[in-house]
Structure 1
């Protein structure tokens, strides 16, 4: 069944919700939907107390190391960590309390080609059971009858050669415990999910997979659950009242998870 998984997005050491497509090195065009008053460990403790599992901490650029470590310390082995992960630092993040490391950009060459030797070295460093491959993507075809998506790296600004296909998902499954997929084109907009992408991902029956991007209401979560055949989990960001949103409440999602665990 589809479960809600929590998130902690860090930017400049603070918990924020950002329109994903506006992330740049210079931050000149950054659009922030919400900047939390609470520190990251406050959210981590809350998720721990509410027994939410499989959530992630994402470091959006530099200046987030200490904030990330504080969150992981507040919920040991309860949160995944992403942002700047390599085979050299992955084990240290596991030691800091992360359940998994999440990796995208480091896996690709400057030309956008997936480097399988890097993926193998990451598995060697922490074990397949600790690896989440982030396949966050952008749509690369405007044809609704034949849509396509490619993984986007470097804060979702650079389109890689890797397409989201069942063949590629099957091949990458040998190197990961889970997949995380943000629909970057709708991330942070609260305008609804990428329905075609949800349909595509729901047709694959491999590893656990979490979808993020565009969720605006509980109806969107019901859509993901129905269309994916309950194969996809979901993360909610800017629409969530916990992050200043008005589309769906945290308590609603806790009740959703409880019903999913204990169906009538």
Structure 2
């Protein structure tokens, strides 16, 4: 059963929606911002809490975001995932601050190469059930390759069934941004969503390119209901004009009702 999941992306302490592929330390002027919110991160946490939108993630896009992320966790303690700069040394601290789960990506790939020891370390610190592995990826020669450092650096890991089967023993969920379409509002990567539906065996959230409420139906159909969906720039609470937050909430209510029958 596909559900809508919320996000809170924080850049320089402010909630923003950006075009994912433009975020770079090497070329900061290339950053394309779709929306800068007048509201603090805690506002969105409270909004998700009020409407029972569970499994939402708070992502720190660079330095200067810890205070904002902490305020979001305080607004809904024990319910949100937090990622961006998470490592073996600070994962437990984020849980103490109120994170339900921690999202790890770049720290797992020193020098761009996957290090299983680091994933095991995070699991020892907070428990496997609190670990979400972010396998955000970009297309390369017909494959999906994990990208780190805010999607700028390619790693040695391909997103495929073998990888997902291996990692699922060490984490509770996957978060997968299709970085090539992130923030563009021009459609999801349907091939990736369909592949994930065939491959994943644990809860998985897809993000990137969603721009219509019908995308929830599409993701449910393509993935067999095994993948959840996040909206960003298209959503009205982030300045978008294509998807209404209330419609996403209603979708979740209907899905919950179906389960209850």
Question: Which TM bucket (shorter chain)?
Answer: over 0.9
Aligned to 1:213: 208
Counting only pairs closer than 5 Å after superposition, residues 135-146 of structure 1 correspond to structure 2 as: 135-141=135-141
Counting only pairs closer than 5 Å after superposition, residues 56-135 of structure 1 correspond to structure 2 as: 56-110=57-111, 112-135=112-135
Aligned to 1:50: 51
Shift of 1:13: 0.5
Of residues 167, 175, 186, the one that matches 2:170 is 175
Matched, 1:251 2:249: no
Give me the whole-angstrom Cα distance separating, in 2, the residues matched to 1:222 and 1:193: 12
Give me the whole-angstrom Cα distance separating, in 2, the residues matched to 1:241 and 1:52: 16
Aligned to 2:223: 228
Give me the whole-angstrom Cα distance separating, in 2, the residues matched to 1:190 and 1:164: 23
Secondary structure of 1:160 counterpart: strand
Q: Is the 8 A contact 2:161 2:200 kept in 1?
A: no
Give me the whole-angstrom Cα distance separating, in 2, the residues matched to 1:152 and 1:62: 19
Give me the whole-angstrom Cα distance separating, in 2, the residues matched to 1:124 and 1:204: 26
Aligned to 1:188: 183
Shift of 1:134: 0.1
Give me the whole-angstrom Cα distance separating, in 2, the residues matched to 1:224 and 1:45: 26
Show structure 1 runs of 4+ deviating over 3 A: none
Ranges in structure 1 where 5+ consecutive residues have no aligned partner: 142-146
Secondary structure of 2:99 counterpart: coil
Matched, 1:34 2:35: yes
Aligned to 2:4: 4
Give me the whole-angstrom Cα distance separating, in 2, the residues matched to 1:71 and 1:262: 28
Q: Is the 8 A contact 2:168 2:202 kept in 1?
A: yes
Secondary structure of 1:84 counterpart: coil
Shift of 1:148: 1.1
Give me the whole-angstrom Cα distance separating, in 2, the residues matched to 1:36 and 1:5: 19
Secondary structure of 2:218 counterpart: helix
Matched, 1:237 2:232: yes
Aligned to 2:256: 261
Shift of 1:52: 1.1
Give me the whole-angstrom Cα distance separating, in 2, the residues matched to 1:205 and 1:216: 24
Give me the whole-angstrom Cα distance separating, in 1, the residues matched to 2:65 and 2:134: 19
Give me the whole-angstrom Cα distance separating, in 1, the residues matched to 2:140 and 2:24: 20
